[in-house]
Amino acid sequence: MIELHTAPTPNGQKAMLMLEETGLEYELVLVNFGKGEQRSEEHTRLSLNQKVPAIVDTDGPGGGEYTMMESNAIIIYLAEKSGKFYPDDTRIRYDIQQWLNFQGGHIGPMFGQANHYIRFAKEDVPYAKERYHTEVLRLYSVLENRLGQSEYIGCDDYSIADIASYSWTKGWETYDFDLDEHPNFKRWLTALEARPAVQKVNSEAARIRAEIQASA
């Protein structure tokens, strides 16, 4: 059994999606940011960085309990545990790793900052909004070009590279992004949103957000 300590953030949804796709048994433990639970002593024991997601696997390596933080590390761990979405072929693995790192090093940080300054900043900072918005649009173009080369982001099959990128890039409406001018990305997004696991996680994330807002 895997305990998933998370919240409906892009990184949090990444781990939820991986667990749904693999079919591994798990229990979701909500970390309520509105109540500061990510900074609690209990959560800090699981994630020294006080972020989500974190997992506790009661049947970890060697058969004992194993705790892990960092979303991309978690989805690699779950891929190897389940034998899914991370092929054994060395060249394909390297391709997937490149695009997994692209998500972690570029998409996550830039989309995160753009989303903050566009939607949540307490004061208007035009330079920051323009800086990060421009970079987000550039990164969408990188994905558009990549998806012109390959059916999916990491390779021609659905993989952890897609799982890592989807939750960050699905909110394209926030960024004045013309989906119709990016047909390769649109094709990929449509394919992912037809997957039952993606639909379930989107629905669950919306439900959790609504419950958190109602209890605030």
User: How far, in Å, CA of 103 to CA of 166, rounded?
Assistant: 10
- What's the pLDDT score for residue 16? 98
- What's the pLDDT score for residue 73? 98
What tens digit of pLDDT does each residue of 178-214 get? Answer: 999 999 999 999 999 999 999 999 999 999 989 888 8
Over the chain, what is the mean pLDDT?
96
Q: Is the pLDDT of residue 215 over 80?
A: no
Q: What helix, strand, coil percent values describe the chain, rounded to 5?
A: 65, 10, 25
Backbone φ and ψ of 28, nearest 5°? -90, 125
Percent of the chain at pLDDT exceeding 70 = 100
Give the pLDDT band of residue 175 (cuts 50, 70, 90): very high
Distances in Å between the Cα of 49 and the Cα atoms of 6, 119, 136 are: 13, 24, 25
DSSP string, 3-56: EEEE-SSHHHHHHHHHHHHHT--EEEEE--GGGTGGGSHHHHHH-TT--S-EEE
Q: Is the pLDDT of residue 35 over 70?
A: yes
Same fold, 2-85 and 90-196: no
Neighbour tally for 96: CB within 10 Å: 26
Q: Which whole number is the average pLDDT over 99-111?
A: 98
Superfamily of domain 2-85: Glutaredoxin (3.40.30.10)
Q: Which whole number is the average pLDDT over 18-35?
A: 95
Amino acid at 20: E
The yes or no reply on domain 90-196 and CATH 1.20.1050.10 is yes
Give the pLDDT band of residue 22 (cuts 50, 70, 90): very high
Distance, first Cα to last Cα, the chain: 31
User: Is the CA virtual torsion 205, 206, 211, 215 positive or negative?
Assistant: positive
Per-residue buried b or exposed e for 116-139, using 16+ beta carbons within 10 Å of the residue's own CB? ebbeeeeeeeeeebeebbebbbeb
Peptide bond into 53 cis (omega under 30): yes
What tens digit of pLDDT does each residue of 120-151 get? Answer: 999 999 999 999 999 999 999 999 999 999 99
- Looking at residue 158, the DSSP 8-state letter turns out to be -
Q: Can you give the residue ranges of every domain in the chain?
A: 2-85, 90-196
Give the pLDDT band of residue 216 (cuts 50, 70, 90): low
What tens digit of pLDDT does each residue of 153-170 get? Answer: 999 999 999 999 999 999
- What's the pLDDT score for residue 213? 82
